[in-house]
Amino acid sequence: MRLAHIKLAGFKSFVDPTHIALPGQLVGIVGPNGCGKSNVIDALRWVLGESRASALRGESMQDVIFNGAGTRKPVARASVELVFDNSLGKVGGQWATYAEISIKRVLQRDGDSSYYINNQTVRRKDITDIFLGTGVGARAYAIIEQGMISRIIEAKPEELRVFLEEAAGVSKYRDRRRETELRLGDTRDNLLRVSDILQELDKQLVHLGGQAEVAKTYRELEARRETTQKLLWLVNKQEAEARRARLAQQVEKTRNDLEAEIAKLREVEAKLETARSEHFGLSDALHAKQGELYESNAEVLRLEQQIAFIVEQRNRLSQQIQNGERQIAQQQTQLQGLRTLRTHWQQQQEDAAVRVATCENRSEVEAQSLPQVEEAARVAQERLNSMQREQMLIQQQLQIFETQRGHVQGNMQQLDGRRSRLMLERDNLPQVDTDLLEQNQQQLAEMQAEYEMQQQQLAELQERLPLADAERRRQRDAVQELGRLLAQTEARLNALQQLQAQLDNDKNLKAWLARHELDHAPRLWQSISIEPGWEDALEAVLRERINALALPHLEDAAGWNEAPPAKLAVYAADGSRRNDAGAHAGLTPLANYVRCQDAQAAPVVQDWLAGVYAVSNLHEALNQRSSLPAGAWLVTAQGHLVGAHSVLFHAPDSQLHGVLARQREIEQLQQEAQQRSAALEQGKQQSAAAEEAYHTVEGRIAPLRSSVSELQQRQHGIQMQNLKLTQANERTQERNVQIAQELEELADRIANEQRQMEEIAEQMAIQREKLSSQQMESDQARQQAGTQDNLLREQRDRAQKAQHELQEARFFAKTCAEKLADLEQNLKQHGETLTQLEEALAHSRNEQANLSEGDADQQLQAALQQRQVKEQVLAEARNNLENATMNLNRMEQERMLCEQKLNPLREKVSEITLKEQEARIQFEQWAEQLQGVDEEPLLPLIEGAKAGGLQNELTRLGNEITALGAVNLAALEELQSAQERKTYLDAQAKDLNEAIETLEDAIRRIDKESRDLLMATYDEVNRHLSELFPILFGGGDAKLVLTGDEILDSGVQVMAHPPGKKNASIHLLSGGEKALTAISLVFSLFQLNPAPFCVLDEVDAPLDDTNTERLCKLIQKMSDKTQFVYISHNKITMEMAQQLVGVTMQERGVSKVVSVDIEEAMKLREDAGGKAAVAA
């Protein structure tokens, strides 16, 4: 692979697009100091991925973009492209098939850097990977810059090992090992996190196992309670169905009685319908007779109108006859006028034909004369155009000379300005400030102390950060646990509140309460509470009254227009209080266990619980029943009522069961939720404090790191300033020499420009004389062309006038023809109109003769007699209809008497129907409870089941569920999810352990391969170094020595033994000896792993002519395998080049490439040598 082309644009001093072709194996880059030769080397390093601005002799990466100079403005981007010849396929990977590979880098002012391979966008790593193991790279041994030889020789042993690794090609192994170590570290971190999660998960599984057992028991009891509840609903549904069927039979019997009475009514209605039909028949007959009378009247009216129409028609025809005679006379007059006009236009048409012939002859004569005049005008115009073109050419030549003169004047001004600027620059060259150097050294010492102090503070904060992070995670976990407990409490609370809300799910009752504005009235159970264990006792005594509504006054119930659609109890405390002083001694009233939060409910509860005493169990109640006063009851904690002569066993039979226990639990849960919410809020505050403490430490680390980095940058800036001051002195001296040379060149160029100015002035005088003569001839030609143009215009005007008169004559002839055609058409139309008028006049006279009103008068008399007869028949029909109407009214009264007897029967049917509907509504309510429930599995269980027993079973199951306490219903799912997660994490931990073993094996294999390859390379480089060192030094020897036992970690030192000296470290050699030793080492690396190309930047500077010749011979020998591009000021080294590339800076701050003819340079050198010999 060979470097074929270098393309630069906007990079440092190469502002213009620059193309450097490198066709040979030995290419030298020459030019004066400061012209930008080393920028070519910087471009190579930059495009190969260099990211350090200091390595490119700049403070920031934007310094590589041309920043303006003199008249040049700064550019927006810099780009460098290297084109390699890969015809031998040395590059591997996906680019192996390309015969030519282009590597390009582009940097924008905004910092956006892009890399391209064959115009495809790639990463920087992709470019680095292409040259791995080849010695080519941004920091590899293939590019040797100014001072690079010294840095290689004075490098630490560890730094020198990098060059050996690059030559051995272990760079890719080192990258692979680093990537493997990173992956191994990530894998170990992942394994640690998985192990921590597994430990927490084991604890969670133990906890969830107990909760899952409780949840399983709860679900079994809940399922049994749900089944029992469905059985209870089904029993209630069947009972409601039986009651509804019984009431339906009663409805059917009453309806039969009603149908009998209705049959009697239908008989009367039949007679009524007959009478009504007869009435309708007579009415229709009356209407028919009346219609016949209307027809007679219409016939009379028609005949009268017909007679009037005949008279009117006769008058109209007379008028039409008069109008027709008048129109005929007018048409005859118009026909005579049209015939006269036709004669006139026929004469005009004949005159127009004669005029057209005359105009055609004259137009033809004028048209024949026009071409001669046009030809004469064309010849005169062409002569004028030719004169003008010649004059224009002379003027263009004058403009060219004027432009050349302006260009020469501009060049002279630029050269004068350049000379003035150079002289000013020479006078203003900067001097080195030694005081500033000493001040910078003192600042560096102070900054180093500040840097060490901040580093210590940063280390302390970094130690505190993991502790703060651990505390933050602990507080966060505590908040999550409190949130989970609060969510469980709120879920249980919401479930109980939904059960309480279902107590009022009767839609009809809710609608009724809303209509009476009672939907927000408080319930009794909301206003009272009872000691734990006595809830069933209070519910058994109060039953539906426990759900009673509070009213302001009981009298309000009397104002309700309709009774409630379901059971409803109400209470108010406005009545007289009952005196309970007669309580039996030795018995505890149940009211003593009740507490009322609402003062209005207290007297009501006392009244309803009067005469009810509480005992612990049924056995005790049976023993004490003999001491009960009349009408009193004993109630057990289970809700069983014991009287003096009876026992009522309690069983849950409605949705009100458990309302007080649920209400107590709701209050407890609300209190617990408030406590846990407060604890959660406190935990959040503590978590926020821990989070804030963590971020405080973290926030202090960031600015401290920034401060440390800033100190480093400031130190670097001062160091660079010292370096710049030192280099500035060197540049000042070099610049003085350059300015003197440039001033001599400027004087020669100014003299050349002055000679060109004089030559241009002479040529402009000659062209001005030609222009004056040409202008006189052009004026004569222009005058002659004007005369011919006037003659041409006059001839064209005459021809156009003759043509216009011809067109007018033809148009008039056409107009005459059209007029005659129109007149003929009008004569034809008027003739046809006259014929039509005469025919219409004859028709009107015939129609008038045929009109007569005698027959119509006779028909009118007959119609008047017939109308009189029909009026008499209509009077008889009206009398018959009045008699039928009287009979119909009598029958209607009989029907109304029958309907009055039906009302009592209908009311009875309605009453029984309402009761049947009530039973049906109850049936539908229970059916609604069973909606979505499959009743088939329940039917075998319902045999022998009673509602009371089922209610007792529901109570027992509810107590067992209550005894379970708080239940995590999601425990089973959480347990299963946790077990699945543990299985997954166990497998993941196993995979991670296997991955760690695999990665550790890979690292061991990489180390072994790297060690073997590096040791072989070490031996091979030592062999080449022992061969090349005597060639460059003319004797002696040198070798590489390891500083440690492990080659992968130890450094490398160079031990040299020049001729006549003792064996010593390279640091003890002279400058020239160091340079030769470094070159020997680099070339030894090349022979081991030849790089595609090698770049040398003035490496021959410290060498004398003898050593330079030895170096050139060695380079020529190695150029068979490696392409060399070098910068040199040494004439011996220049003579070695197969191609020389010159770099100049004629425009200040702008480098340009010029070609150098080696043969011409050699010839000039030989001539100069010969003249020197003759002179000697």
**Tokens standing for 1104?**
């004398």
Contact between 638 and 565 under an 8 Å Cβ cutoff? The reply is no
* DSSP assigned state of 578: P
Q: Nearest 5 degrees, angle CA 642-CA 648-CA 651?
A: 125
Crossing angle of the two packed helices 971-1033 and 157-168, in degrees rounded to 10 = 90
User: Residue 578 — φ and ψ, nearest 5°?
Assistant: -90, 140
Q: Is 36 annotated as a binding residue?
A: yes
Does 74 appear as a known binding residue? no
Burial classification of residue 1007, based on how many CB atoms lie within 10 Å of its CB (0-12 exposed, 13-18 middle, 19 or more buried): middle
Q: Which residues of 1025-1036 are buried (b: 16+ CB within 10 A; e: fewer)?
A: bbebbbebbeeb
How many angstroms separate the CA atoms of 66 and 46, rounded?
14
Q: How far apart are CA 287 and CA 282, in angstroms?
A: 9
Q: How far apart are CA 694 and CA 267, in angstroms?
A: 103
Q: How many CB atoms lie within 10 A of CB 328?
A: 16
What residue type is 53 in one-letter code?
A
Helix axes 971-1033, 1105-1118, angle to 10 degrees: 130
Is 35 annotated among the ligand-binding residues?
Answer: yes
**Position 1004, amino acid:** R
Find, among 651, 522, 545, the residue nearest to 605 by Cα. 545
Name the maximum alpha-carbon separation found in the chain. Answer: 177
Q: Are 710 and 450 in contact (CB under 8 A)?
A: no
Helix/strand/coil percent split, the chain, to 5 = 70, 10, 20
The answer to whether the Cα torsion of 958, 960, 966, 970 is positive or negative is: negative
Q: Would you say 778 is a known binding-site residue?
A: no
Separation of alpha carbons 276 and 580, rounded Å? 77
CA dihedral 180, 185, 191, 196 (to 10 degrees): -170
CA dihedral 87, 89, 91, 93 (to 10 degrees): 130
- Written as one string, the DSSP assignment of 498-547 is HHHHGGG--HHHHHHHHHTT-TTPPBGGGTEEE-TT-HHHHHHHHGGGGG
Residue type, 319: Q
- The answer to the question of whether 952 is labelled as a binding residue is no
Is 33 annotated among the ligand-binding residues? yes
32 is in an annotated binding site: yes
Contact call for residues 589 and 537 (beta carbons, < 8 A): no
Tell me how far the alpha carbon of residue 587 is from its chain's centroid.
Answer: 79
Tell me the three state secondary structure of residue 214.
Answer: helix
Q: Beta 26-30 vs 1123-1127: how paired, if at all?
A: parallel
Which one-letter DSSP state was computed for residue 16? S
Token reading at 488:
């469980």
Phi-psi region of 1041 (alpha: psi -120 to 50; beta: other; left: phi over 0): beta
The single-letter code of the amino acid at 173 is Y
Cα three-residue angle 436-438-439, rounded to 5 degrees: 60
C-alpha angle 746-414-75 in degrees, rounded to nearest 5:
115
Q: Is 77 helix (H, G, I), strand (E, B) or coil?
A: strand
On the CB side of 852, how many CA atoms lie within 13 Å of its CA?
6
| Phi-psi region at 545: left, alpha or beta (left = phi > 0; alpha = psi -120 to 50) | alpha
Q: Which two tokens stand for residue 478?
A: 């505590």
- Which residues make up each annotated binding site? 32-39
- Which residues make up each annotated binding site for ATP? 32-39
